[in-house]
Chain A
Amino acid sequence: MKTVRIFYEKRGRLKFVSHLDMTRFMSRLLAKSKIPVWYTEGFNQHIYMNFALPLSLGFEGLYEILEIRLTDDGYDLNKCLEALKGVAPPDIDFISVDEPVTAMKDIGFATFRLDFDEIDQGLAKSLTDFFESDSVICQKAGKKGKIKEFDIIPKICSYEINGNRLILVVVAGNEDNLNPTLIMNAFFEKTGISPPFYTVSRVAIMDKQGNLFR
């Protein structure tokens, strides 16, 4: 048995497939591809699948990772990739299939790209002021419905405004996560700016050292 990671992009109409639905979708795709995937044992047997990070509904994912296991250690990974490409619907692109480099628990950050129709000077300034502030306290409903307060600023590692794009690197992984929608909602609430339309893409996942997670 051999563990491998599938790297893919999820775009277009597939943005509306939730994380839970992705699990079902991927298992059907894997079944169709006839790759020798490993099934979990026990009463309710299913294909072993481990997604690196869940992706919010409506986001595009340009660096998505799914881990599976192959029952045949010698199975050619290029063949695996070709098999997946052969069954993929239009809005998913399989990029590569590789052996894991870093452990899943070492995921540390994710990079998001937010595309606005226009970031004019005013908006750019407000954004800069916002990200440069010392702290922004947000609320989140924690376990048992308890409201938890926390500061989002330390969780944002970097921001960059590039034309009509805002690039954010935020903490991600098992222990901590920050959703860009939450950041933007806090921004709009704090500044009183009425939210313009924007799209979100997750473009990279990094390990705790800041290297691309593989």
Chain B
Amino acid sequence: MDTKKFEALLLSVQKPGRYSGGEIGSVIKDKQEVDVRFAFCFPDTYEIGMSHLGMKILYSQFNSRDDIWCERVFAPWQDFEEVMRRENIPLFALESRDPIKEFDFIGFTLQYEMSYTNVLNMLDLAGLPVRSADRQSLSPLVVAGGPCACNPEPIADFIDLFFLGEGEEVDLELIDLYKKFKAEGKSKKEFLIEAAKIEGVYVPSLYELSYNDDGTVAQITSNNAPATVKKRIIKDLNSAFYPEQLVVPYIEIVHDRVVQEVFRGCIRGCRFCQAGFIYRPVREKSSDTVNRQAKALCENTGYDEISLSSLSTSDYREIEPLLGKLLEWTQDSHISIALPSLRIDNFSDELLEKIKHIRKSGLTFAPEAGTQRLRDVINKNLTEDEILTACKTAFAGGYTAVKLYFMLGLPTETDEDLKGIADLGQKIVNLYYDMPNRPKGKSVSVSISVSTFVPKPFTPFQFEPQIDEQEIRRRQEYLKSCITTKKISLSYHDSATSFLEGVLARGDRRLGAVLEAAFKRGCKFDSWNECFCLEKWLDAFKECEISPEFYANRLRSFDEINPWDHLDYGVTKKFLVCENRLAHEAKTTPNCREKCSGCGAACYGEGVCFENR
């Protein structure tokens, strides 16, 4: 496209930096010199997508190969979409500004269900039929991965194949197969059948779901493909690929810093948390690896902040030596370290002392539930005493603001549990004022953020009904009425979004029609409150004669076939059933380091399952 015209159009929209490309670290290659062009698509805005670590890793890894050119694509915001549609500009990749329709691969990362309509919209903007069956040629192949691929059925009609689990190895195996088939002039169908033989590749068109009269899945049958597909993991993170350079955006993004991964998985097994199950088993990097990788990234990007990233960074066994190593060089270089997602139950005095020199803002805890009983139900092994002790230490260390995360609508939740949230907040406020050594002249602030619980596949709560919207709102009101001080502020997630998220999370393939109908009604950016429109979605359900409540609000029996039962994430259904039973008895399960509970993830032969306990 004509650069001058393009640039003039960019100036007519908000934040043209989202679409201009040319950032430091972005990779430009000669398209004649590469065999495979890969459009890595993040179905949300630039600022959100650019903050995503997985995308950074795969972008660098693909581009480290001479025969592949991977470029980035994000969902254009509405103002630019209007311009694109008006001026007939097809969806393009940021680096080359070439239409992605010409690429070999269009790969989406599915981080949350509410981005599905953006996937359809982006395919449409690219000038492609949204349905996989309507795209006949071998390329572009539309592929997808990410956590939502663990139940990809609602979006299966639109995607040619899914990667289950971690992508670093399987993606390249697939690309190599593609190169071979492309050179031999093979068809898409032939390619897909062969691709399905690669472990971790799920080709939905080779599977058929049939249904019972009551709407539940009767059978999942495979055709020319293995009966179950097993997720892939990277066994040794110390030797796995990790980028040395990142694309450094000009405009401010959500996480504008070096995001340094320390381990994958989580030892905890909180029963509501999908990430805690689908990324099992825990595999750590050594502190030397983490230190070396973080240092290289800082030097190459010029960032002045590192954030250590994992599901629960304080569970990292080498956290103290790591902080020591990092502090050796970061302080002189004016680089700060941020430690998100610290759990308080192993928040030692020493650690607190160390991070005191690092950063003093934002003390966040996630008790998730207001009473000990409910915390036992969800296996958040954390007592009120531990929370209060941690707050006490933190207050003594100069903190005055505490942020608490909770969930509303957890299985077995009663009003008493909700009141417990308010009570805990109040106890923290009281604790502060009872402390003689509290920071002088400062007031305490406790902010309570309450999201709505959404049952997810591959968790012990995958069988549970989600409470309906009316009940969500009643509980929200009740909780609000329990809070009596201005020192506590309360915020909620939108309940309508949670409902739809719940439907899509545990949906089956019949939802494809609904998704398409919603997209045709103009649904997009559903995770953005200002864009989300539940009415349009409800109309789409009506049009397809599908009841969303069937997916969200129904209790599933243990022997019901789930739409994701043919996908194997290591964790067995038997284990999930057992955990669900324990939940209803309010019995906790020890974490992987205390005692192995035999979840099934040891089948990968690596990680925490084989540590000395």
Residue ranges of A at the interface with B (Cβ–Cβ < 8 Å): 12-18, 21, 24-25, 27-32, 39, 45, 57-58, 87, 89-91, 197, 199
A16 contact from B10, B299, B301, Cβ within 8 A: B10
Q: How far is the CA of A45 from the CA of B305 in the complex (A)?
A: 13
Q: Is there an interface contact between A21 and B301, defined as CB atoms closer than 8 Å?
A: no
Where chain A touches its partner, the secondary structure class is helix
Q: How far is the CA of A28 from the CA of B24 in the complex (A)?
A: 10
Q: Is there an interface contact between A197 and B252, defined as CB atoms closer than 8 Å?
A: no
Q: Is there an interface contact between B20 and A24, defined as CB atoms closer than 8 Å?
A: no
Residues A197 and B20 in contact in the complex (CB < 8 Å), given A25-B250, A39-B334:
no
Q: Is there an interface contact between B302 and A90, defined as CB atoms closer than 8 Å?
A: no
Q: Is there an interface contact between A28 and B248, defined as CB atoms closer than 8 Å?
A: yes
Q: Is there an interface contact between B304 and A57, defined as CB atoms closer than 8 Å?
A: no
13 contacts between A and B (CB under 8 A): A13-B20, A13-B21, A15-B20, A16-B17, A21-B251, A24-B250, A27-B302, A28-B303, A30-B302, A31-B304, A32-B299, A32-B301, A199-B4
B11 within 8 A of A: yes
Q: Is there an interface contact between B299 and A21, defined as CB atoms closer than 8 Å?
A: no
B5 within 8 A of A: yes
Q: Is there an interface contact between A57 and B16, defined as CB atoms closer than 8 Å?
A: yes
A13 contact from B8, B11, B22, B304, Cβ within 8 A: B22
B252 contact from A14, A24, A45, A58, Cβ within 8 A: A24
Determine the residue in chain B with the shortest Cβ distance to A37: B334
Q: How far is the CA of A48 from the CA of B16 in the complex (A)?
A: 27
B489 within 8 A of A: no
Residues of A within 8 A of B7 (CB): 15-16, 58, 199
Determine the residue in chain B with the shortest Cβ distance to A26: B302
A86 to chain B, nearest CB (A): 12
What 8 new A-B contacts, CB under 8 Å, besides A13-B21, A15-B20, A17-B251?
A12-B22, A16-B20, A18-B17, A21-B252, A27-B304, A31-B303, A32-B301, A197-B8
Chain B 1-39 per-residue mask, 1 if CB under 8 angstroms from chain A, else 0? 000110110110000110011111000000000000000
Q: How far is the CA of A24 from the CA of B305 in the complex (A)?
A: 13
Residues of A within 8 A of B20 (CB): 13, 15-16
Q: Is there an interface contact between B301 and A89, defined as CB atoms closer than 8 Å?
A: no
B218 to chain A, nearest CB (A): 54
Q: Is there an interface contact between B250 and A21, defined as CB atoms closer than 8 Å?
A: yes
B309 to chain A, nearest CB (A): 20
Q: Is there an interface contact between A32 and B17, defined as CB atoms closer than 8 Å?
A: no
Residues A28 and B17 in contact in the complex (CB < 8 Å), given A13-B22, A58-B11, A90-B22:
no
Chain B residues 115-152 with CB under 8 Å of chain A are none
Q: How far is the CA of A21 from the CA of B252 in the complex (A)?
A: 7
Q: Is there an interface contact between B333 and A31, defined as CB atoms closer than 8 Å?
A: yes
B142 to chain A, nearest CB (A): 28
Determine the residue in chain A with the shortest Cβ distance to B256: A24
Determine the residue in chain B with the shortest Cβ distance to A115: B4
B219 within 8 A of A: no
B221 within 8 A of A: no
Q: How far is the CA of A198 from the CA of B219 in the complex (A)?
A: 63
Q: How far is the CA of A45 from the CA of B5 in the complex (A)?
A: 41
Chain B 314-333 per-residue mask, 1 if CB under 8 angstroms from chain A, else 0? 00000000000000000001
Residue of B4, B302, B304, B334 ringed by the most chain A CB atoms within 10 A? B302
Residues of A within 8 A of B251 (CB): 17-18, 21
Q: Is there an interface contact between A32 and B302, defined as CB atoms closer than 8 Å?
A: yes
Residues of B within 8 A of A24 (CB): 250, 252, 256
Residues A17 and B300 in contact in the complex (CB < 8 Å), given A39-B334, A57-B11, A89-B22:
no
Residues of B within 8 A of A16 (CB): 7, 10, 16-17, 20, 250
Residues of A within 8 A of B250 (CB): 14, 16-17, 21, 24-25
**5 tightest A-B CB contacts, nearest first:** A13-B22, A28-B302, A32-B302, A16-B20, A31-B302
Q: How far is the CA of A28 from the CA of B258 in the complex (A)?
A: 12
Q: How far is the CA of A9 from the CA of B133 in the complex (A)?
A: 50
Residue ranges of B at the interface with A (Cβ–Cβ < 8 Å): 4-5, 7-8, 10-11, 16-17, 20-24, 248, 250-252, 256, 299-304, 333-334
Q: Is there an interface contact between B22 and A21, defined as CB atoms closer than 8 Å?
A: no
A42 to chain B, nearest CB (A): 13
Residues of A within 8 A of B304 (CB): 27-28, 31
Q: Is there an interface contact between B17 and A89, defined as CB atoms closer than 8 Å?
A: no
A40 to chain B, nearest CB (A): 11
Residues A32 and B300 in contact in the complex (CB < 8 Å), given A14-B22, A16-B16, A21-B251:
yes
Determine the residue in chain B with the shortest Cβ distance to A39: B334
Q: How far is the CA of A12 from the CA of B3 in the complex (A)?
A: 10
Q: How far is the CA of A91 from the CA of B23 in the complex (A)?
A: 9
Determine the residue in chain A with the shortest Cβ distance to B94: A13
Q: Is there an interface contact between B24 and A89, defined as CB atoms closer than 8 Å?
A: yes
Q: How far is the CA of A15 from the CA of B6 in the complex (A)?
A: 13
Q: How far is the CA of A13 from the CA of B10 in the complex (A)?
A: 11
Q: How far is the CA of A15 from the CA of B10 in the complex (A)?
A: 11
Determine the residue in chain B with the shortest Cβ distance to A198: B8
Residues of A within 8 A of B11 (CB): 57-58
A124 to chain B, nearest CB (A): 21
Q: How far is the CA of A99 from the CA of B299 in the complex (A)?
A: 27
Q: How far is the CA of A28 from the CA of B304 in the complex (A)?
A: 8
Q: Is there an interface contact between B334 and A45, defined as CB atoms closer than 8 Å?
A: yes
Q: Is there an interface contact between A197 and B16, defined as CB atoms closer than 8 Å?
A: no
Residues of B within 8 A of A57 (CB): 11, 16
Residues of B within 8 A of A28 (CB): 24, 248, 301-304
Q: Is there an interface contact between A17 and B303, defined as CB atoms closer than 8 Å?
A: no
Residues of A within 8 A of B256 (CB): 24
Residues of A within 8 A of B334 (CB): 31, 39, 45
Residues of A within 8 A of B17 (CB): 16-18, 21
B359 to chain A, nearest CB (A): 12
Residues of B within 8 A of A27 (CB): 302, 304
B255 to chain A, nearest CB (A): 14
Residues of A within 8 A of B4 (CB): 197, 199
Q: How far is the CA of A31 from the CA of B300 in the complex (A)?
A: 10
Q: How far is the CA of A72 from the CA of B263 in the complex (A)?
A: 41
Q: How far is the CA of A25 from the CA of B251 in the complex (A)?
A: 9
Determine the residue in chain A with the shortest Cβ distance to B19: A16
A51 to chain B, nearest CB (A): 15
B106 to chain A, nearest CB (A): 23
Q: How far is the CA of A89 from the CA of B23 in the complex (A)?
A: 8
Q: How far is the CA of A59 from the CA of B334 in the complex (A)?
A: 32
Q: How far is the CA of A32 from the CA of B250 in the complex (A)?
A: 15
Q: How far is the CA of A29 from the CA of B22 in the complex (A)?
A: 15
B149 to chain A, nearest CB (A): 33
A90 to chain B, nearest CB (A): 7
Q: Is there an interface contact between B302 and A29, defined as CB atoms closer than 8 Å?
A: yes
Q: How far is the CA of A91 from the CA of B20 in the complex (A)?
A: 12
B357 to chain A, nearest CB (A): 14
Q: How far is the CA of A17 from the CA of B304 in the complex (A)?
A: 20
Q: Is there an interface contact between A197 and B302, defined as CB atoms closer than 8 Å?
A: no
Residue of A24, A30, A90 ringed by the most chain B CB atoms within 10 A? A24
Residues of B within 8 A of A31 (CB): 302-304, 333-334
Determine the residue in chain B with the shortest Cβ distance to A90: B22
Q: How far is the CA of A90 from the CA of B248 in the complex (A)?
A: 14
Residues of A within 8 A of B301 (CB): 28, 32
Q: How far is the CA of A173 from the CA of B562 in the complex (A)?
A: 68
Q: How far is the CA of A10 from the CA of B301 in the complex (A)?
A: 19
Residues A91 and B22 in contact in the complex (CB < 8 Å), given A17-B17, A197-B4:
yes
